[in-house]
Amino acid sequence: QSALTQPAWVSGSPGQSITISCTGSSSDVGVYDRVSWYQHHPGKAPKLMIYDVSRRPSGVSHRFAGSKSGNTASLTISGLQAEDEADYYCNSYTNIYTYVFGTGTKVTV
């Protein structure tokens, strides 16, 4: 059960858009539309930002969008703001009720 692969670091200027990739395999991301994304500020609890590849929970800004193509899921943050600076993790259902997280991406603004 290997971690999904994410870039270690992505940066952008305020107002710009950035995209974080999350690469898995045909055993997880490629076969299940059960990819979620979490924002994690150090010292705080992670926060659900996207689920089922592209759905946003109520209260999450429309600046956050998810997508998937083949074995790779992506999170796009548009109109980057200082408060978006955090670690982001993807997560995928694999099989028989098991899950796997991505390696994590530090976003700097």
Residues found near another protein in the complex (CB under 8 A)? 1, 3, 32, 34, 36, 38, 40, 45-48, 51-52, 57, 87, 89, 91, 93, 96-104
Min separation Cβ 6 and another protein, Å: 8
Nearer to another protein, 13 or 97 (CB): 97
**105/86 Cα distance (integer angstroms):** 8
Nearer to another protein, 16 or 108 (CB): 108
With b for 16 or more beta-carbon neighbours within 10 A and e for fewer, the 55-80 pattern comes to: ebeeebeeebbbebeebbbbbebbeb
Say how many C-beta atoms besides its own lie within 10 A of residue 40's C-beta.
Answer: 16
Min separation Cβ 15 and another protein, Å: 28
With b for 16 or more beta-carbon neighbours within 10 A and e for fewer, the 22-35 pattern comes to: bbbeeebbbebeeb
**66/77 Cα distance (integer angstroms):** 9
Min separation Cβ 55 and another protein, Å: 9
Nearer to another protein, 79 or 99 (CB): 99
Nearer to another protein, 55 or 83 (CB): 55
DSSP state of 80: -
Min separation Cβ 67 and another protein, Å: 17
